[in-house]
Amino acid sequence: LPKCCVPLKSISVQVRVQDHVATVCSTLQYVNEEERPLEALFVFPLPADAAVCHFSAKIGEQEIVAEVQDRESARDQYDDAVSSGQQAFLLEESAESPDVFRLSVGGLSAGQNAAVTIIYVTELAVQADHSLRFCLPAVLNPRYTPAGCGAVPYTLTLSVHVSSPKPISKLESNCSLDLVFLHSDRTQATVDLSPGHMFDKDFELFVFYQDTHQPSAIVEAGVTTAPPGSLMRDPVVMMSLYPEFPEEVMSSLASGGEFIFLIDRSGSMGSMMHHEKGAQMRIESAKDTLLLLLKSLPMGCYFNIYGFGSRFESFFPLSVEYNQDTMDQALKKVKEMQADMGGTEILQPLKHIYNLRYHPDHPRQLFVFTDGEVGNTKEVLDLVKSHAHSHRCFSFGIGEGASAALITGMAREGSGHAQFITDTDRMQPKVMQSLRFALQPAVVNISVDWTLPDGVTVDTLSPPINVVCLSAYKMHKSKCKVTINPSFCPFPACFCRLSVHRLAAWTLIRSLEQEERSGAADVEGIRSRMVELSVQAGVSSVHTAFIAVNKDSRQTVKGPLKQRRVPTRGYQWPLMHRCLDGCQCKVNVPQCNIFVKECASEMFFSLFIFPLCLMFVCMCSAAPEPQKDPLLQLVSLQKASGCWDLDATLADVGKTKDELTNQKPAQVDGSVWATLLALIWLYGCKIEQQVEWQFVAMKAASWIGSQKVGDLSQCVCVGNVLLGCQVTKETLGI
């Protein structure tokens, strides 16, 4: 292995969160420790909805600010500069996925230092618990250190400043933080990453505001030097709405629907959810989640389950009606599921699903689970968008390697909701939150009315609103002061540094990209408009790139450049390992260890991989039987109709069959008694996990309500004594 490391020494990140918008400034310190000139190429992820709006490089005391140019022109200029011995930097977006960027650092002399600064703006996504999620991908930090490099050489400092007209109720993170509230009204706060963070996982920050459902807006003045009539010259408003609907609407659940569960069964799903003791494999957690989902579906709906990898297969040729027989068949197949289907190819199963006839009276709800990324993200998102009229898509990113562009994009284009399950998160609560959304009636025909002063006109820049949680951009073609209908909401206004303009430009560029890919007639005109917007607003696009050349350097770089290429996640290869008992097992490593290829002047090696386990479990020997979860054990016994049988398997959850039978009131049927006890146990012993079993309990209560039961209150009292609980009949929802 080469005894030289990528010349990145430190990362400093400053984040400013203003209401629903985050501006992120990352500075990366490089040093060439080799004895010859160096060219380094990094391929790394950024948040899926990030509008990169600044790129600069500082060498010594000299700072070079990059310009946005047509992509091919920027590449030619970079190649010419490096070939002539000048220092140059090139930042460009991947053509396949909007959250993957490529940074070329060319012409670093031996021993030379360089600081590269990247600034991007992104809109924060609303989570199921009403928080706003900010994620900093673990970029440019090796998941494995080559021999000879010693300890990981990178350090990370991170500071986040949060401000909003709404008070901040709390801030949460998956990492250790130092938190300070700056004002007594809690409208501003600063958090710093605690010392010692290794940056071996994505950094997540969740911002909780008070008055979550109160609409808000950011009003931003334009640039007077921009061309007249351009986006950057006119004022822009970004309005964020998260409507609150009446409780009777939110509590009503659909009795029908077609539920399709698309499960990633690629080799990486066989890895652990996290590295703590007792962690499950991802595929096992997915199987437990499917159990809860299948038990929670309403009678009379339709459902099917697909597994995908390099190929795909379904449990049933077509979606089947949900009843006891079909549920039992599906559960049997779920138990047999393994992470044995190769790579991650999601496009073909999606095409197959969308080509199937859907039931007009049973709206289709698609649940997608994956832990990886794909090379054709934009093609996948275009496909989902083209079928947005016939379904809602709920997507789940599992682990650190899931593509944010794929997960958030599928939910956005499919009018659904995205969830990320990382670190020590349990999959089941988040999935059941999304199931509640899927079971609620769809909100359609959404419109926003603007009341504006005379002489002010607006252009809508964002796509048509088709989801409940939304943001809308409006561009004002007037210098008049903007007022919004005060009877609707007194929006607070604030002015910042063109963040909203750049988000608006990025939104327009993405819309034009979709037009281009859809086969529009005027492709050249669309591309020209995208380049014009990108250059004018200074934001990235697939047809432009940031280019910076140090033309003032007094010395040129002499000698052939040594290249360092550092790809990101995604490469998989089999590893043969000889077990202690002499047999051989093939282990699918989710990320490659070290991939080395030498040729005349280049050397490739990967540092973006998960830790390589030093101990392998022999796949030929029987693994110890995992301890059964009492909650899942109880749920697994429920019938499709919502009831339980009074038998020995139910008693195994915590009591003997004789104890359950002997205490049964004489006038009560055995199934009613068993179902009542199950409900009492859920509310009395597992209330902290209610989000997971809420639909199981609703079905059970509904089933009991349909039966002829005598003194139900007395039955609840007897059940409480037997199980040691104190639950009322009203609490049970009967």
Is residue 251 within a helix (H) or strand (E), and if so which, with residue range? Answer: helix 247-251
Structural domain boundaries of the chain?
8-215+541-551, 247-439, 630-732
Q: What is the structure's pLDDT at 676?
A: 92
Residue 267: pLDDT over 80: yes
Tokens describing residue 500: 């909203």
Q: Considering the chain, what percentage of its residues have pLDDT values greater than 70?
A: 76
Q: Among the residues of 363-463, which ranges form H helices?
A: 377-386, 404-413, 427-439
What confidence category does residue 594 fall into, taking pLDDT thresholds of 50, 70 and 90? Answer: very low
β-strands 391-398, 418-421 pairing: parallel
Q: What is the structure's pLDDT at 395?
A: 94
For residue 637, how far is the Cα from the chain centroid? 33
Q: How far apart are CA 610 and CA 400, in angstroms?
A: 9
Cβ neighbours, 10 Å, residue 375: 14
Decide which of 280 and 602 is more confident.
Answer: 280
What confidence category does residue 355 fall into, taking pLDDT thresholds of 50, 70 and 90? Answer: very high
Q: What is the pLDDT of residues 364-398, one digit of tens each?
A: 999 999 987 787 888 999 999 999 888 999 999 98
Q: What is the structure's pLDDT at 390?
A: 86
What confidence category does residue 529 fall into, taking pLDDT thresholds of 50, 70 and 90? Answer: very high
Please enumerate in sequence order all residues whose Cβ is within 8 A of that of 137, keeping only pairs 6 or more positions apart, or say none: 44, 45, 46, 47, 202, 404
Residue 583: closest CA among 542, 619, 533, 559: 619
Please enumerate in sequence order all residues whose Cβ is within 8 A of that of 722, keeping only pairs 6 or more positions apart, or say none: 655, 659, 660, 663, 677
Rounded to the nearest 10°, the torsion over CA 74, 76, 81, 85 is 140
What confidence category does residue 1 fall into, taking pLDDT thresholds of 50, 70 and 90? Answer: very low
Dmax (CA) of the chain: 98
Q: How far apart are CA 175 and CA 169, in angstroms?
A: 19
493: left (phi over 0), alpha (psi -120 to 50) or beta: beta
Q: How far apart are CA 205 and CA 118, in angstroms?
A: 20
Angle 373-376-379 from CA coordinates, rounded to 5°: 125
Of 77-91, 98-112, 355-369, 623-637, where does mean pLDDT reach its minimum? 623-637
Residue 16: closest CA among 177, 137, 135, 190: 190
Q: How far apart are CA 589 and CA 611, in angstroms?
A: 10
Class of domain 8-215+541-551: mainly beta
What is the layout of strands, in order, in the sheet containing 458-460? 216-220, 236-241, 470-476, 458-460
Q: What is the pLDDT of residues 136-177, one digit of tens each?
A: 876 433 322 333 444 445 678 889 999 988 899 999 988 888
342: left (phi over 0), alpha (psi -120 to 50) or beta: left
DSSP state of 342: -
Q: Considering the chain, what percentage of its residues have pLDDT values greater than 90?
A: 30
What is the layout of strands, in order, in the sheet containing 203-209? 125-126, 132-136, 203-209, 168-173
Q: How far apart are CA 600 and CA 125, in angstroms?
A: 47
What confidence category does residue 591 fall into, taking pLDDT thresholds of 50, 70 and 90? Answer: very low
Residue 601: pLDDT over 80: no
- Average pLDDT of the chain is 77
Q: What is the structure's pLDDT at 678?
A: 92
Contact 445, 205 (CB under 8 A): no
Q: What is the pLDDT of residues 666-711, one digit of tens each?
A: 888 889 999 999 999 999 999 999 999 999 999 999 999 888 887 8
Residue 422: pLDDT over 80: no
For residue 241, how far is the Cα from the chain centroid? 21
Q: What's the mean pLDDT in 483-501?
A: 48
Is residue 398 within a helix (H) or strand (E), and if so which, with residue range? Answer: strand 391-398
Q: What is the structure's pLDDT at 587?
A: 33
Residue 478: pLDDT over 70: no
Tokens describing residue 195: 């010392």
The gap between the terminal CA atoms of the chain, to the nearest Å, is 67
Decide which of 32 and 143 is more confident.
Answer: 32
Q: How far apart are CA 238 and CA 236, in angstroms?
A: 7
Q: What is the structure's pLDDT at 367?
A: 96
Please enumerate in sequence order all residues whose Cβ is within 8 A of that of 733, keeping only pairs 6 or more positions apart, or say none: 697, 698, 701
Tokens describing residue 671: 């199934």
Q: How far apart are CA 36 and CA 108, in angstroms?
A: 9
34: left (phi over 0), alpha (psi -120 to 50) or beta: beta
Contact 449, 417 (CB under 8 A): no
Residue 488: closest CA among 522, 451, 525: 451
Q: What is the pLDDT of residues 202-223, one digit of tens each?
A: 788 999 998 877 777 778 888 8
What confidence category does residue 59 fall into, taking pLDDT thresholds of 50, 70 and 90? Answer: confident
Rounded to the nearest 10°, the torsion over CA 518, 47, 55, 517 is 0
Q: How far apart are CA 629 and CA 733, in angstroms?
A: 25
Q: How far apart are CA 16 and CA 193, in angstroms?
A: 14
Q: What is the structure's pLDDT at 334?
A: 95
CATH code, residues 247-439: 3.40.50.410
Q: What is the pLDDT of residues 294-318, one digit of tens each?
A: 999 998 899 999 999 999 999 999 9
Contact 526, 505 (CB under 8 A): no
Contact 282, 269 (CB under 8 A): yes
β-strands 418-421, 113-123 pairing: unpaired
State the burial class of residue 296 (Cβ atoms within 10 Å of its Cβ: 0-12, 13-18, 19+). buried
Q: How far apart are CA 678 and CA 681, in angstroms?
A: 5
Tokens describing residue 631: 């909650």
Contact 499, 220 (CB under 8 A): yes
SS3 470: strand
Q: How far apart are CA 343 and CA 516, in angstroms?
A: 29
Residue 66: pLDDT over 60: yes
Is residue 88 within a helix (H) or strand (E), and if so which, with residue range? Answer: strand 87-93
